[in-house]
Amino acid sequence: MAELTARMGNLGLGDSVHAGGAPNNASGQRAAYIPPHLRAKMQAQHASASGAAAQHAAPPINAANSSIGNSRWASAPTPAESHIQRQPNGWAAAPTFTPSNNWENPEPRPQRSMDNQGYNGGGYGRTAPGEGTWRDGKHVPGPPNPRLERELFGTANDPSKQTTGINFEKYDDIPVEASGTDVPEAVIAFTSPPLDPHLLTNIELAHYKQPTPVQKYSIPIVANGRDLMACAQTGSGKTGGFLFPILSQAFKQGPSLLPAGQNQGFGRKKAHPTSLILAPTRELVSQIYDEARKFAYRSWVKPCVVYGGADITSQLRLIERGCDLLVATPGRLVDLIERGRISLANIKYLILDEADRMLDMGFEPQIRRIVEGEDMPGVHSRQTLMFSATFPRDIQMLARDFLKDYIFLSVGRVGSTSENITQKVEYVEDQDKRSVLLDILQAHQGGLTLIFVETKRMADNLSEFLLNQKFPATSIHGDRTQRERERALEMFRTGRCPVLVATAVAARGLDIPNVTHVVNYDLPTDIDDYVHRIGRTGRAGNVGISTAFFNRGNRGVVRELIDLLKEANQEVPAFLESIARESGGMGGGRGGRGGGGGRGRGQSGAKDFRRYGGGSGGLGGSGGGFGGPPNSSFSGPGGYGGGSYSGGSAGYGGGNGSNGGYGNGGNGGYGNPASWW
C-alpha cells in the first residue's frame, strides 16, 4: 500500500476532497434540493408555467453559436476560431522524408485485365457523381459535386454534421507511448510526409488541420505494413486514425487484383472489399461509414455499410454498386457472407473498432467466426488494426490471436479519460435519483445532456418521466426499433431533444457534438464502461462535465472509480474514500480482469501487457505481495502488476519481485470474477 501511495504522490495528486452530499452543479448555483415527497407540488408549478416548457425547448443551434468545424457549444468562438485557417496549397512542398519501408514507393499494382473502362469500385453501374475511377494505373478523382459535398461535410449552419472539432493543438501535450519492435517514426503533419494528395483535399474539406497524436502514429504504422493495437482516450481521433492511412494507401495503390479464379464481378454479385471495419453497435457503424464517405469523396474507393435492423435490400443494392471499404456489425455481415454476397478473400485491412468490446464474451465468437471461420486472409496476409479507449489485459491477450508482431500505442494519461472532462460524483440514493436529475437538468441548460442507465426498461421509464416533467427527452436502447433508435439520435444530435436517456448502446464511440453533460444515473459495474460513457463529452479538445450518481449499491467500483478520478486530476469526494474504507480490500468486486494493474482497473487504458506484467505467464512465482483473494482490489500479481513500471527491478511490482520486469507472477489476476452481489 505504501507503494501505491508513493505512486500517487509521484503523480503529484493532491488529497483534496470535497464534502459529499452538498453537490454543486457546473455553475455552482443549483437550486436547493427538494425531497421527493415535496416534488409533486413543484411539478405542478413547473408544468403550469408555460415559460418553463419553453425554457427547456431545443437550445438554439445556429451559425452564430458555432464556428465552422469547431462546433463548440458552451463557449462562443473567438473571432480567430471562426475563420478556418486553410492549409496552404503547397502540399507538395512538404519536407522530404526518407521512408523506412514502403512509404513513398508503394508496390505498383497490376491492372485489372477486365478493366478497359477503368476500375469503378467493382460495381456494375456507372460511376456516380462524386465518385472517381482508377484508370490506366492512375487515380482519376471524379468532379466535385456541390450537393453531395454539403451532405457529407455539412455547412456552417448545420453543426450536427460537424463531427470532430479541430482543437488539436491541445493534443500536443498528450503523452504517447509506442511499444513493439521497430516502431516507425511519427509523422508531424498530414503533409509531412504527405498522405495521398486526394485524401488531403478531403481532409481539408472536413476542416481537419493537424493529425491528432493517435493519427500521427497510426499513419506511418499502417504505411509500414504493421499491425496495431491502439489505446487512445475518448474523442482523440481514432476513426481518422485508421481511415486516413488505409484510404491514403488505397488512393495511391489502386484496387488490388482479385486472385485468379475468383469471380471478377460479371455474372455473380459478390463483393470483395479490401478493407473491413467492425464495430459493436449499428449507430457506431453508421457513423464510421459517414466518415468514410467524407474521406473517400470523389475517389475510386466505394465505402459500404451493413448492419441489422435495417432494410437489407437497400444494403445489397449499395454493395452491388461496388464495395471496397465495408463497415459492418458482425451479425449482418455473417448473414451476407452466408448468402454469398460478400467475400472476405480480398481483405487487406481488418479493423476492430472498440476492439475490447468486440473481443469480450458477447462478441468474441462472432469475431472469431468472421476472422478465422470464413475466407478472410490469414493474419500474415492482412493488416489488423485494433482501436479502443480501454484495453483490459485479458482482452489484450485474446487479441494476440488476430495480430502479428503488432505495435502497441498508448495515447493519453494512464487512466485514459480526458482532463477536458470535469468529473463529479454525487451521493444519491436510488429513490432520490429522479429529483436530483431534475435539479441537474434545470441548472444545466444550453447543451445536450446524455443520461446513462443500466436497463432498457429504466431508459423507457426515465425518458417518459422526463417528458412528463416537460423536458424534451427521448431514449435509445436495443429494444427500440432501428428506426426509433436513429430518430432518437437525430433528435438529440440536432438539439430538438436535448436530453437523451440511453443504455450501453450509446456508450461507445458515438461522436455527438455539443454533448456538454453526461449523467451516469446508474453507474456501470465495469469501470471501463464508465470511461467510454463519459467520453461522449469533452471530445476533440472541447470541455465537458460528467456527473455520476453513486450510492452503496455501487461500492463494487468505488476503488477503481477513485483511482480513475485521481489519475484524471479530478476531485475525489470524501464519501467515496470512506465507502472505500468501509468496503475494505474487498471492494473490487472483480479482481480478475484488472490483474496486471493490481489496482483493479489494471491500467486497462494504457499499458502494453507485453511489457507490464505480461507474457504468457509462467515466469515467476506466485502472486505474493498484495495478491490476496481473486476479488480483492489488490488482486492480481500484486501491486503494480508484476511487471516493473519502469522496467528493470520489481518496480512497483509488489509480488515477490522474483520475476523482475516480466512475467505476471502467476495467475492471481485471473481468478474468477466475484459474484455480482
Partner DNA sequence: AAAAAAT
Among 106, 197, 331, 377, binds DNA (CB under 7 A): 331
394's CB contacts (< 8 A; 6+ apart) are 592, 593, 595, 669, 670
| H, E, C per residue of 490-549 | HHHHCCCCCEEEECHHHCCCCCCCCEEEEEECCCCCCHHHHHHHHCCCCCCCCCEEEEEE
CA-based nearest residue to 460, from 488, 498, 440, 482: 488
Q: Which three cell numbers stand for residue 169?
A: 493543438
Angle at 31 between CA 25 and CA 36, to 5 degrees: 105
Binders of DNA among residues 539 to 558 (CB under 7 A) are none
Binders of DNA among residues 335 to 374 (CB under 7 A) are 335, 338, 360-363, 366
460 is a site residue for DNA (CB under 7 A):
no
Q: How far is the CB of 315 from DNA (least distance, A)?
A: 9
For the stretch 29-32, contacts whose Cβ atoms lie closer than 8 Å and that sit 24 or more positions apart, written own/partner, are 29/443, 30/439, 30/440, 30/442, 30/443, 31/439, 31/442, 31/443
Nearer to DNA, 26 or 534 (CB): 534
- Binding region for DNA (CB under 7 A) out of 221-229, 274-282, 342-350, 399-407: 274-282
Please name the amino acid found at residue 510: L
- Binding region for DNA (CB under 7 A) out of 80-88, 201-209, 322-330, 561-569: 322-330
204 is a site residue for DNA (CB under 7 A):
no
377 is a site residue for DNA (CB under 7 A):
no
281 is a site residue for DNA (CB under 7 A):
yes
Q: How far is the CB of 475 from DNA (least distance, A)?
A: 10
266 is a site residue for DNA (CB under 7 A):
no
503 is a site residue for DNA (CB under 7 A):
yes
312 is a site residue for DNA (CB under 7 A):
yes
- Binding region for DNA (CB under 7 A) out of 153-161, 209-217, 278-286, 543-551: 278-286
- Alpha-carbon gap, residue 613 to 158, rounded angstroms: 48
Using an 8 Å Cβ cutoff, are 580 and 559 in contact? yes
Nearer to DNA, 589 or 637 (CB): 589
Helices in 363-408 by DSSP H: which ranges?
364-372, 393-399
Percent of the chain that is helix, strand, coil (3-state, to 5): 35, 15, 55
- Binding region for DNA (CB under 7 A) out of 277-285, 392-400, 510-518, 559-567: 277-285
- Binding region for DNA (CB under 7 A) out of 229-237, 334-342, 409-417, 565-573: 334-342
**Peptide bond between residue 513 and the one before it cis (omega within 30 degrees of 0):** no
Q: How far is the CB of 335 from DNA (least distance, A)?
A: 4
334 is a site residue for DNA (CB under 7 A):
yes
Which residue(s) pair with 139 in the sheet? 134
Say which DSSP state 300 is in: S
Place of cell 454525487: 426
Among 7, 109, 456, 496, binds DNA (CB under 7 A): 456
Nearer to DNA, 139 or 593 (CB): 593
- Alpha-carbon gap, residue 401 to 394, rounded angstroms: 12
Nearer to DNA, 3 or 560 (CB): 560
Nearer to DNA, 289 or 307 (CB): 307
Nearer to DNA, 18 or 456 (CB): 456
477 is a site residue for DNA (CB under 7 A):
yes
505 is a site residue for DNA (CB under 7 A):
yes
Q: How far is the CB of 473 from DNA (least distance, A)?
A: 16
Nearer to DNA, 338 or 429 (CB): 338
Q: How far is the CB of 145 from DNA (least distance, A)?
A: 30
521 is a site residue for DNA (CB under 7 A):
no
Among 220, 330, 628, 638, binds DNA (CB under 7 A): 330
332 is a site residue for DNA (CB under 7 A):
yes
Nearer to DNA, 478 or 621 (CB): 478
144's CB contacts (< 8 A; 6+ apart) are 130, 298
First to last CA, the chain: 26
Q: How far is the CB of 268 from DNA (least distance, A)?
A: 20
Using an 8 Å Cβ cutoff, are 469 and 43 in contact? yes
Using an 8 Å Cβ cutoff, are 486 and 283 in contact? yes
- Binding region for DNA (CB under 7 A) out of 83-91, 183-191, 280-288, 512-520: 280-288
Nearer to DNA, 185 or 460 (CB): 460
Nearer to DNA, 308 or 629 (CB): 308
164 is a site residue for DNA (CB under 7 A):
no
- Alpha-carbon gap, residue 296 to 199, rounded angstroms: 7
The region that residue 126 occupies, defined by phi over 0 for left and psi between -120 and 50 for alpha, beta otherwise, is beta
280 is a site residue for DNA (CB under 7 A):
yes
Please name the amino acid found at residue 140: V
Nearer to DNA, 397 or 505 (CB): 505
The site for DNA, by CB under 7 A, has a size of 35
Q: How far is the CB of 323 from DNA (least distance, A)?
A: 16
Q: How far is the CB of 637 from DNA (least distance, A)?
A: 23
Place of cell 467515496: 576
112 is a site residue for DNA (CB under 7 A):
no
- Alpha-carbon gap, residue 62 to 66, rounded angstroms: 7
Among 25, 65, 162, 329, binds DNA (CB under 7 A): 329
299's CB contacts (< 8 A; 6+ apart) are 131, 132, 139, 141, 142, 198, 199, 202, 247, 250, 251
- Alpha-carbon gap, residue 215 to 245, rounded angstroms: 9
Q: How far is the CB of 583 from DNA (least distance, A)?
A: 19
Q: What is the DSSP string of 546-601?
A: EEEEE-GGGGGGHHHHHHHHHHTT----HHHHHHHHHHGGGGGS-HHHHGGGSSSS
Which residue(s) pair with 70 in the sheet? 67
- Binding region for DNA (CB under 7 A) out of 196-204, 208-216, 453-461, 544-552: 453-461
Judged by the rule CB under 7 A, the positions of this chain that interact with DNA are 280-283, 307-310, 312, 328-335, 338, 360-363, 366, 454-457, 477-479, 503-505, 525, 676
